[in-house]
């Protein structure tokens, strides 16, 4: 049986305040949970319905009813498996490769997808402005599909970080040099901005080059989704470098 205190703790982890207070976060889904169990993350508690408990025979598992799982799940249709992990310690950003910088990205799905894209394209470090959505938000974690275990995400004031960056800094704008004509280096810093407002004006002085994804279609299309734009730019960067 899962106690009321355990249910209360997990329910509290839906909020950033309590995630930080307890140093814990949770993920759901058999595939994602198994992927994180095989990572360096430290498991706190593992919960599964009777249907899935046999998938974790080697672990100390807490069998949970479907009704109780619905009470604590962040999903409309709970997947049957939920794991609580300890928050990992952030690592120092390594400037030996490309570094992703996110300025005020607010949508959880966008951040989660960008983390997954960075994992796919071999970018290990993401630096987020303090206004960017929390990486341990359940919706963000769901969108990462387990990539959170391999990408280091840190939060800090971007101006001093960029001032100390030892790599060329590229900012993505509606107007700028075409990414298809740019000779990207082996390592650099790429800034993606807020979904509605783009990169904050205060960061302009820290950017060495403005780049854009040229538009070939209907000019009434205002802009690309930030995660979609990230995929296109990262693909072009890797094809060059």
Give the per-residue pLDDT at 221.
Answer: 65
Torsion of CA 191, 188, 96, 185, to 10 degrees: 150
Give the tokens for residue 48.
């599964």
CA 236, CA 32: separation in Å to the nearest integer? Answer: 29
CA 60 vs. chain centroid, Å, equals: 28
Give the H or E element holding residue 102.
strand 99-102
Q: Which 8-state DSSP code applies to residue 219?
A: T
User: pLDDT tens digit string along 139-152?
Assistant: 999 999 999 999 99
Record the tokens describing residue 143, joined without a space.
């969108």
pLDDT, residue 220, reads 61
| Statement: residue 1 has pLDDT above 90 | no
Phi/psi at 148 (5° precision): -60, -25
In angstroms, the first-to-last Cα distance of the chain is: 54
How far is Cα 200 from Cα 194, in angstroms, rounded to an integer? 8
Q: What is the SS3 assignment for 84-102?
A: EEECCCCCCCCCCCCEEEE
Find the range with the poorest average confidence among 84-88, 162-166, 199-203. Answer: 162-166
């Amino acid at each position: 049986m899962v106690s009321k205190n355990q249910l209360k703790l997990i329910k509290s982890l839906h909020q950033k305040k309590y995630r930080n207070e307890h140093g814990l976060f949770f993920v759901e889904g058999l595939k994602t949970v198994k992927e994180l169990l095989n990572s360096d993350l430290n498991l706190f508690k593992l919960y599964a319905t009777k249907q899935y408990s046999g998938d974790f025979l080697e672990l100390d598992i807490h069998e949970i009813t479907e009704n109780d799982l619905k009470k604590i799940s962040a999903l409309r249709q709970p997947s049957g498996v939920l794991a609580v992990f300890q928050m990992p310690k952030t690592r120092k950003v390594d400037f030996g490769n490309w570094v992703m910088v996110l300025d005020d990205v607010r949508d959880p799905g966008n951040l989660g997808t960008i983390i997954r894209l960075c994992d796919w394209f071999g970018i290990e470090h993401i630096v987020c402005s303090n206004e960017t959505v929390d990486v341990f938000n359940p919706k963000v974690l769901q969108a990462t599909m387990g990539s959170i275990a391999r990408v280091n995400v840190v939060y800090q004031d971007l101006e001093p970080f960029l001032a100390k960056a030892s790599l060329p800094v590229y900012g993505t704008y509606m107007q700028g040099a075409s990414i298809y004509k740019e000779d990207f280096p082996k390592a650099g810093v790429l800034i993606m901005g807020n979904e509605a407002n783009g990169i904050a004006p205060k960061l302009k002085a820290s950017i060495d080059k403005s780049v854009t994804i040229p538009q070939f279609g209907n000019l009434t299309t205002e802009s690309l989704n930030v995660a979609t734009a990230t995929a296109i730019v990262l693909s072009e960067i890797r094809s060059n470098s």
